[in-house]
A and B are shown apart, each in its own frame.
Chain A
Amino acid sequence: MSTDTAATDEQDQALVARIAAGDRAAFELLFREYGERVFRYTHRLISDVTKAEEVTNDVMLEVWKTAARFEGRSKVSTWILGITRHLALNAVRRKQLDTVDVDEAAPVADEHDVPAALDHDRDVLKAALAKALGKLSTDHRDVIELTFFHGLSYQEIADVVGCPENTVKTRMFHARKQLKGYLVSAGIDPDSVEMAS
């Protein structure tokens, strides 16, 4: 854990302690810090704005309700993202929102979604990658989002998701493989595109 991250977590833990004592101002500060992250994570999991807003609200109210039970055994961010994942997946189950598993979905290129599949430039690749991400199973997408969007270590992801660290690495391996497969089937060779910015 870097010094900055450790300092942030110390501040967050202090906020949670104040929230446990019923401090509304501390709750507001924590909400301002995490609200958008929770919303983005949820939206990327369930692709429904209204539901994502509801889940964000529920997650933060759960933080308010259970702050006294937070024992500081993980980072505050890991705790909050764990609650988020749990509530978001419950929302998926309740509403049966579509989360397509790439194993079940045929990775066929959609010419409307990737209009310039033959122009192997960075923007096309970005668009195709973003679309391919949406095709991944929740478990695989989760690992990618938590790694690159939320900046969690593989140990923290194991905590949030509730699985062994090796499973996190395996999911990452397969997610990358599936993404590449999707790009290739969409007529894009990721190896042929200049990646460096």
Chain B
Amino acid sequence: MNRREAEELLPWFVAGTLSDEESRAVQAFIDSGAISAEEVAELEFFAGTVAERAPSEPAYDPAILERALSQLDGITQEAPEPPLVVGEVGRDAGAHGRRGREDDRPGLVQRLLDALQWSSTPTLARVVVVGQFALLLGLALMIGGRTDETAGTGGFETVAGESTALAADFSVTFAPGASEADVRTLLLAHRMSIVGGPSALGIYQLAAPEGADLAALATDLTASPLVVFLQPVPQP
């Protein structure tokens, strides 16, 4: 663990929710003076303030419980998620040595056939349906094969080359007067790319390299005089 990582974990060190190993690592940085005692004290004070109930906060009304209890009868409890049984063929399942309640339930294939009323469909109609399905499958395979020939470009090339469709990690505004060369140097140093912008307000969307430590990147970028605003883009 480096100092930056230790600083990131400091709030949870103060809250006492780190693992023993993480706590020892953070404590070592405090003992060595790499993380100041003032910063720890500040966080402890902050933690205490958050944990305290502010005078302006309303009292909890235990009567909420009574209200909830009176509503329980009107609520149907959900059953546990049923396990997904794949490959089960309903009535035939018992013949394969399966026992218990699941043997009595039709399998996925059987339920699908039942839903389609397959057994009551005339033979000729069955042949037509199967034939149409085979035709569609063949067409899909042909179209798929042609797409492969163009190697995912959709049959054309763009000047920018293959699209990477990177998702933005940060919204950033650069300092007025920052030169293109300065910005390029900063982004290359962090292997970042501009994937959007500028907006009317001069905000750019930046993408970090795969697997990058976003918190560390945010710290570095914010520390640069070229960056006057930075906000992480919420990740899906």
Interface string of B50-87 (1 = CB under 8 A from A): 11111011101110110111011001111111000000
Which chain A residues border B81 with CB–CB below 8 Å? Answer: 69, 71
Choose among B62, B68, B232 the residue that contacts A167 (Cβ–Cβ < 8 A).
B232
Determine if B57 and A171 form an interchain contact, defined as CB atoms under 8 angstroms apart: no
A32 within 8 Å of B (CB atoms): yes
Which chain A residues border B17 with CB–CB below 8 Å? Answer: 147, 151-154, 156
Determine if B235 and A39 form an interchain contact, defined as CB atoms under 8 angstroms apart: no
Which of B50, B67, B234 has most A Cβ within 10 Å? Answer: B50
Choose among B16, B18, B69, B78 the residue that contacts A24 (Cβ–Cβ < 8 A).
B69
Choose among B48, B56, B60, B231 the residue that contacts A40 (Cβ–Cβ < 8 A).
B60
Cα(A44)–Cα(B226), bound, Å: 36
Determine if A170 and B42 form an interchain contact, defined as CB atoms under 8 angstroms apart: no
- B30 CB to nearest chain A CB (Å): 14
Which chain B residues border A190 with CB–CB below 8 Å? Answer: 42
Choose among B50, B53, B61, B76 the residue that contacts A144 (Cβ–Cβ < 8 A).
B50
Which chain A residues border B34 with CB–CB below 8 Å? Answer: none
Choose among A36, A39, A68 the residue that contacts B80 (Cβ–Cβ < 8 A).
A68
Cα(A75)–Cα(B164), bound, Å: 38
B44 within 8 Å of A (CB atoms): yes
A126 within 8 Å of B (CB atoms): yes
Determine if B12 and A60 form an interchain contact, defined as CB atoms under 8 angstroms apart: no
Chain A residue nearest to B20 (CB atoms) is A2
Determine if B57 and A40 form an interchain contact, defined as CB atoms under 8 angstroms apart: yes
Cα(A56)–Cα(B63), bound, Å: 11
Total count of chain B residues near the partner, CB < 8 A: 52
A97 within 8 Å of B (CB atoms): no
Which chain A residues border B45 with CB–CB below 8 Å? Answer: 122, 125, 195-197
Choose among A35, A49, A172, A177 the residue that contacts B58 (Cβ–Cβ < 8 A).
A49
| Given A43-B57, A130-B54, A147-B15 contact (CB < 8 Å) | yes
Interface majority SS (helix, strand, loop, mixed), chain A: helix
| Given A147-B12, A196-B41, A68-B50 contact (CB < 8 Å) | no
Choose among A56, A170, A196 the residue that contacts B215 (Cβ–Cβ < 8 A).
A170
Which of A56, A133, A148, A164 has most B Cβ within 10 Å? Answer: A148
Given A61-B71, A148-B11, A163-B235, 6 new contacts (CB under 8 A)? A27-B72, A53-B64, A129-B46, A176-B11, A190-B42, A195-B38
Interchain residue pairs with CB less than 8 A apart (30): A22-B77, A24-B72, A27-B69, A31-B65, A31-B68, A39-B64, A43-B57, A49-B58, A52-B58, A53-B61, A53-B64, A64-B72, A64-B75, A66-B77, A68-B79, A69-B78, A69-B81, A139-B234, A144-B50, A148-B11, A148-B46, A167-B232, A167-B235, A169-B215, A173-B8, A177-B222, A179-B46, A195-B38, A196-B41, A197-B44
A residues with a Cβ closer than 8 A to B are 20, 22, 24, 27-28, 31-32, 35-36, 39-40, 43-44, 49, 52-53, 56-57, 60-61, 64-69, 71, 103, 122, 125-126, 129-130, 133, 139, 144-145, 147-149, 151-154, 156, 163-164, 166-167, 169-174, 176-177, 179, 190-191, 195-197
B residues with a Cβ closer than 8 A to A are 8-9, 11-12, 15-18, 38, 41-42, 44-54, 56-58, 60-62, 64-65, 67-69, 71-72, 75-81, 213-215, 218-219, 222, 231-232, 234-235
